[in-house]
Structure 1
């Protein structure tokens, strides 16, 4: 039999090498699948309690992956508590509100602790405030409670280039704000009203989530950022510490002492090549 295999490898060296490489890749993918099974929820199928870890990272524009994963953890009877790791400068107020509501609903069912990384500002703070407890590093930048809209006026540039612009609109505010001319006082008042309404929503949600007086929140909500140490002093966070400290606090809230498996996400789909490269 050994002689037959040897002759085959000698007669078809390229095919034999391809078969060896294919077998190695299959084994690698299988090992990765087993690893992901245990890391991302394998404990559920073994009937063991576990903790959840939700990552909120980058600019908040598409809330669906985070919201869906939070809902999954909320409905999973084996997950006894969740840490939410926030590393975000903020983003759209709508997506931030969606994650905020998901965290709020999660906290109504099981303990939730937020761990802030280097940056958890604006929308990053918005999604954090409904948690049972918020941990920040002393040097974390957080706060920035407020809403911003910026408009660039290209009228002077277009005049220099000799370009004319004309809009046909169904109402006086349909093209507001427009980058092709100065806004009227009515348009400025219209946009400022929208900004202040969104700001009020932000303030009220922070006041509710942090059980703070609305007036106290308004004093803090002038758009400024705070270090983690400053945020602790003004009541925007509860403790100073990192991710490990947040998990220790969560275990206390869940009344568990042993280390539990962690279900981590959201997991973003990757293609075959990305899987191979990430494993090297």
Structure 2
């Protein structure tokens, strides 16, 4: 009998503990739900400035485009600050981001704030904004387009390898590392490059209110510091992010003191990659590694490490 009573008491104690932990768990879940609801209500209803980060290699991104469309439709977003820290990316990626930011700016003010690097497609992104701010030491410019390949024919001759290429026409799949570039292939490839370059130059001329002649003088592919970019008209001001908020207050009558909410998108590993992309993107952009990641025409700045 004593054993049965002790067993019963133990079961009762266990049930009490279970109920206690169940109650704690329910309270924690309810508190989390309230906090989450409050956060969404705060970001969805309270007027604020949205800040979106464009970092690393710029590529076409449907999710990013959807986020920008949502910002345009969100009445609680009074303005958007675009923080750019990118050496560039694909022409399509830069063009898509440029077009999306231009549509966003039709609904609310957009300010671009450059970080360490905002070159090539990164600069293409910046000029979509209504106002462009750079640090004095920001690397920017690099207005141009490139397509990279290699010629392995001499190496293959030395090791006794003869490539066999069968194609429908001489200009199919050129440039090709397994073939010497013919004058016709070079001319056709150059025409594609120049067409994309003309598009880029046209964007700069329109957005920076320059003549074509003025734009071509500074659009020779070179990079500039933020100070130089301010002198030649590629940016509007040099300084910190505070310059962007001051401009929004004085020129767009955005109330001072609004909260600034970061807009997050993409998976977690994307952000982990993005934080390290600046250095790895610059110093790992060799011909082969970049060719594996970026397919087609690119507008990207890379220092010559040879």
Gaps of 5+ in 1: 275-280
Conservation of the 8 A alpha-carbon contact between 2:163 and 2:178? yes
State the number of aligned residues. Answer: 259
Deviation of 1:164 after TM superposition, in Å, equals 2.1
Distance in 2 (alpha carbons) for counterparts of 1:90 and 1:104: 18
Conservation of the 8 A alpha-carbon contact between 2:64 and 2:265? no
SS of 1:56's equivalent in the other structure is strand
Conservation of the 8 A alpha-carbon contact between 1:81 and 1:254? no
**Of residues 11, 14, 24 in structure 2, which corresponds to 1:8?**
14
Deviation of 1:254 after TM superposition, in Å, equals 3.6
Report the counterpart of residue 180 of structure 2 in structure 1.
182
Deviation of 1:105 after TM superposition, in Å, equals 1.0
Does residue 247 (structure 1) correspond to residue 238 (structure 2)? The answer is: no
Deviation of 1:265 after TM superposition, in Å, equals 2.0
Q: Which TM-score applies when normalising by structure 1? A: 0.82
Residues 228-276 of structure 1, C-alpha deviation per residue, up to 9 Å, x if partnerless? 00000000000111223223322334413332233322322349xx9xx
Deviation of 1:109 after TM superposition, in Å, equals 1.5
Distance in 2 (alpha carbons) for counterparts of 1:33 and 1:117: 36
SS of 2:78's equivalent in the other structure is strand
SS of 1:193's equivalent in the other structure is helix
**Cα distance change of structure 1 residues 249 and 186 upon mapping to structure 2, 3 Å threshold:** same
Distance in 1 (alpha carbons) for counterparts of 2:79 and 2:201: 27
State the structure with more CA Rg.
Answer: 2
**Cα distance change of structure 1 residues 168 and 8 upon mapping to structure 2, 3 Å threshold:** same
**Of residues 135, 139, 145 in structure 1, which corresponds to 2:143?**
145
Residues 114-150 of structure 1, C-alpha deviation per residue, up to 9 Å, x if partnerless? 0000000000000111211100000000000001111
Does residue 235 (structure 1) correspond to residue 233 (structure 2)? The answer is: yes
Deviation of 1:101 after TM superposition, in Å, equals 0.4
Distance in 2 (alpha carbons) for counterparts of 1:29 and 1:97: 45
- Report which stretch shifted further, 252-261 or 208-217: 252-261
Does residue 61 (structure 1) correspond to residue 67 (structure 2)? The answer is: no
Distance in 1 (alpha carbons) for counterparts of 2:109 and 2:173: 46
- Which runs of structure 2 are paired with 1:34-113 in the superposition (5 Å)? 34=35, 38=39, 42-45=41-44, 47-113=45-111
Distance in 2 (alpha carbons) for counterparts of 1:240 and 1:115: 9
**Of residues 214, 219, 228 in structure 2, which corresponds to 1:216?**
214
Deviation of 1:96 after TM superposition, in Å, equals 0.5
Deviation of 1:178 after TM superposition, in Å, equals 0.5
Distance in 1 (alpha carbons) for counterparts of 2:85 and 2:91: 16
Distance in 2 (alpha carbons) for counterparts of 1:201 and 1:83: 25
Residues 27-55 of structure 1, C-alpha deviation per residue, up to 9 Å, x if partnerless? 599759947963xx54354x321111111
Gaps of 5+ in 2: 1-8, 273-306
RMSD of aligned C-alpha atoms?
Answer: 3.0
- Which runs of structure 2 are paired with 1:254-273 in the superposition (5 Å)? 254-270=252-268
Deviation of 1:166 after TM superposition, in Å, equals 1.1
Report the counterpart of residue 133 of structure 1 in structure 2.
131
Q: Which TM-score applies when normalising by structure 2? A: 0.75
